[in-house]
Structure 1
């Protein structure tokens, strides 16, 4: 983002951030109108460092400025906890949301350049619990508070996935309410779990030309129209054309219902409007839904998304977007280096070489080298 920062591995990591677009947004929103020291750009750099290093508090961020390289990167020698807290609650989350989407756009350009056709997009949500005493605005049960991250994840391959769209709400928001927001691309295949089951929406998706695979609840009523044979030695037990729902609340369209045995011997009922795929292909598509579970697990373990630096809604949203931005920066360096190394190793190497020349970090990406 600037000549001082770019000499370091940290500078290389944040290179994809488009300073021009970011500064234009800051100027338009007058975000830094009365700011002399902690500009929005400096705030983003420091918060991304906090995500990378796993800082526990604003005090720890303040103390980190003892490092002269960080001082050069930010343009000042010290900052107080109160200034950090104020900025964290003042920065408009829309700026960070836009930054996240800009990075997603860069990933997508590389993704489609590699010849990927119909992308697989997985939809799910994760609830981040909060202390009700400090976060009354996020109350969703008598004794609990929390926010929910609704996410659309693009599955590229077993080594690479990336978040494409995010919606942050309080935890009381039902998943089904976000489905239409997260489904907006007719050139994609969507996968989501039974928490999103809605017969009326299934009909609309069918009529509007959106393709999906989901899981039906065990007690769902079905009426069989036609049954097909399934391959021998397949995990697919049955393949049928059905209407879903009771007489009073039934789909208008016919869907495909497959019963599949998972690795634990459980029977899953999968519903889809893809009639052209082999039964095992549908089963495999749904199996990839597990990638979003792993993604949420990665976020909670390796970036700061469980412990928050502020108590206001703005501060919470900003920290979640910064976590997603940090993840995207890791994916972009992985794609740039054409590396098969896991993001965990990429992040560890970066932390070890943070303020050293970028080439020290970059040479670790040689695919012939073992971690």
Structure 2
């Protein structure tokens, strides 16, 4: 299973005019494909960096290239023509349908009494002028806040609960973006060129992957946040030791020592 989504990273328009996407704002967008190694471990498999004005749908075909995978993405990628093309080419997906989407019901599947899915149907999507050529599967479920969600997929061989659970797993990429922004200092950039921005983002992704490798090597159930704290402490302690060896005395005020060395 592979999850596709994007995250916009804001920039100062004064310093990053090449990334302008609104009258007073600039930014870049990280288009990402996240892969499940197991139910608790994910890693970024493919990334594309564009300016923030790039629409998510334009990168869907770039990130979908494996017929053995199941792709999961949100409403921002809804494109009926592309859904038809993906189905014809043998790619499987689950997405969330927009509220105003027009559907034409073909068949309704029966559901067991204990199923949390409200309905399971075969449908065509779109109006008469812009309708899909293929029949898709539409499921309706209720989230924890009482909102009605409609999932669209071209998989008919899975149980309705499995389709619902697959889409819910998309939350993993939201947690990934949150971790990336909070713990890898990706919100502040040190260069102003497009290349510098891309390098820093890719370094952040590499940092995350290294954390995952450490977690796997340790065979530990510790969270990535705990591992991050351990690594920072280890690096800080080593810097203290190196400074003490260089100065020949205990270091009580590290910033002062670093300043003196400079």
TM-score, normalised with respect to structure 2: 0.89
Equivalent residue, structure 1, for 2:244: none
Q: 2:80 aligns with which of 183, 199, 210?
A: 199
Deviation at 1:337, TM superposition (A): 1.8
Q: Secondary structure at the match of 1:242?
A: strand
Q: Which structure 2 residues correspond to residues 283-362 of structure 1 after superposition, within 5 A?
A: 283-354=164-235
Q: Secondary structure at the match of 1:264?
A: coil
Q: Which structure 2 residues correspond to residues 56-75 of structure 1 after superposition, within 5 A?
A: none
CA deviation string 1:79-134 (max 9, x = no partner): xxxxxxxxxxxxxxxxxxxxxxxxxxxxxxxxxxxxxxxxx100000000011111
Cα separation, 2, equivalents of 1:338 and 1:356:
24
- Taking structure 1 as reference, are residues 356 and 142 closer, same or farther at Cα in structure 2, changes over 3 Å only? closer
Q: 1:185 aligns with which of 24, 41, 66?
A: 66
Cα separation, 2, equivalents of 1:166 and 1:127:
13
Q: Secondary structure at the match of 1:230?
A: coil
Deviation at 1:347, TM superposition (A): 1.2
Matched, 1:135 2:135: no
Unaligned runs of 5+ in 1: 1-119, 358-371
Equivalent residue, structure 2, for 1:273: 154
Deviation at 1:339, TM superposition (A): 1.4
Deviation at 1:356, TM superposition (A): 6.5
Q: 2:109 aligns with which of 204, 228, 235?
A: 228
Unaligned runs of 5+ in 2: 239-262
Equivalent residue, structure 2, for 1:258: 139
Aligned length: 238
Aligned 8 A contact 1:239 1:256 in 2: yes
Cα separation, 2, equivalents of 1:186 and 1:143:
41
The RMSD of aligned alpha carbons is 1.2
TM-score, normalised with respect to structure 1: 0.63
Aligned 8 A contact 1:159 1:340 in 2: no
Cα separation, 1, equivalents of 2:111 and 2:22:
45
Name the structure with the higher strand share. 2
Deviation at 1:355, TM superposition (A): 6.8
Deviation at 1:157, TM superposition (A): 3.6
- Taking structure 1 as reference, are residues 212 and 151 closer, same or farther at Cα in structure 2, changes over 3 Å only? same
Q: Secondary structure at the match of 2:235?
A: coil
Deviation at 1:219, TM superposition (A): 0.5
Q: Kindly report structure 1 stretches of 4+ aligned residues shifted beyond 6 Å.
A: none
Cα separation, 1, equivalents of 2:141 and 2:92:
19
Name the structure with the higher helix share. 1
CA deviation string 1:208-237 (max 9, x = no partner): 110100000000000111001122233210
Larger relative contact order (Cα-Cα within 8 Å, sequence gap ≥ 6): 1
Aligned 8 A contact 1:121 1:189 in 2: yes
